[in-house]
Chains A and B, each alone.
Chain A
Amino acid sequence: EADIYQTPRYLVIGTGKKITLECSQTMGHDKMYWYQQDPGMELHLIHYSYGVNSTEKGDLSSESTVSRIRTEHFPLTLESARPSHTSQYLCASRQGGSYEQYFGPGTRLTVT
């Protein structure tokens, strides 16, 4: 079982607030990912990281930022929350050389 954690699990917040979603993994995986998923829809890649100080934008990255200062930690920040950000956010990781991604439990975000 993968050891990957996300906090908070649920968040309700007002429009315009700054939000940081936390993701940590204890497996030493070098690659980490953030996905957004709406009910019944595909996972959309927001950001990914190949290692410390290495981040890349995905398909839905324009309104968020990430950082990778430590191998185990990959936080996602929304500078100004909007109702369109209401969704489930999933963090995943994998070890280089393996294509198998493991997901955290997710953060369900509601912006009012």
Chain B
Amino acid sequence: QKEVEQNSGPLSVPEGAIASLNCTYSDRGSQSFFWYRQYSGKSPELIMFIYSNGDKEDGRFTAQLNKASQYVSLLIRDSQPSDSATYLCAVGPRYGNNRLAFGKGNQVVVIP
């Protein structure tokens, strides 16, 4: 089992709709959770991070964390063509370890 799973294929959403991305992780002791956006040919850009169960909102982005079910999700409201990118989920492991584990990413295509 991979540490971080992002299994959905490319997600196509109409402009203005909500894009929903999910990520599951295997290490129950994980403490920190991140969403990165990566445009084609570019490096990842941090857009959201969350440490506690529940929701965290930042502009059009909402991260949701459920540690009991070991999943973290990202909602993009009012999707714009500029949101078309690959979204990487990253998970920080237990105390004393500095390494993040990354998922393969989910591609989002916003259709004008």
Task: Decide: A106 near B42, CB < 8 A? Known: A40-B104, A100-B34.
Answer: yes
Nearest CB to that of A6 among chain B residues? B43
Contact partner, A99, options B4, B92, B103, Cβ 8 Å: B92
- What residue in chain A is nearest B104 (Cβ atoms)? A42
Residues of A within 8 A of B92 (CB): 99
Supposing A42-B104, A100-B49, A103-B43 touch, asked if A50 and B98 sit within 8 A by C-beta, the answer is yes
- With an 8 Å Cβ cutoff, the count of chain B residues facing the other chain is 21
The answer for the CA separation of A106 and B34 in the assembled complex, in Å, is 20
Which chain B residues lie closer than 8 Å to A105 at the CB level? 42-43
Instruction: Using A45-B99, A106-B43 as known contacts, list a sample of 15 further A-B pairs with CB atoms less than 8 Å apart, ordered by residue number in A.
Output: A31-B98, A40-B104, A42-B104, A43-B88, A58-B99, A99-B31, A99-B32, A99-B34, A99-B100, A100-B46, A101-B34, A101-B100, A103-B43, A104-B43, A106-B42
Q: Can you list 11 residue pairs at the A/B interface with Cβ under 8 Å?
A: A41-B104, A42-B104, A43-B44, A45-B99, A50-B98, A58-B99, A99-B31, A101-B46, A103-B36, A105-B42, A106-B43
Footprint of B on A, CB under 8 Å? 31, 40-43, 45, 48, 50, 58, 90, 99-106
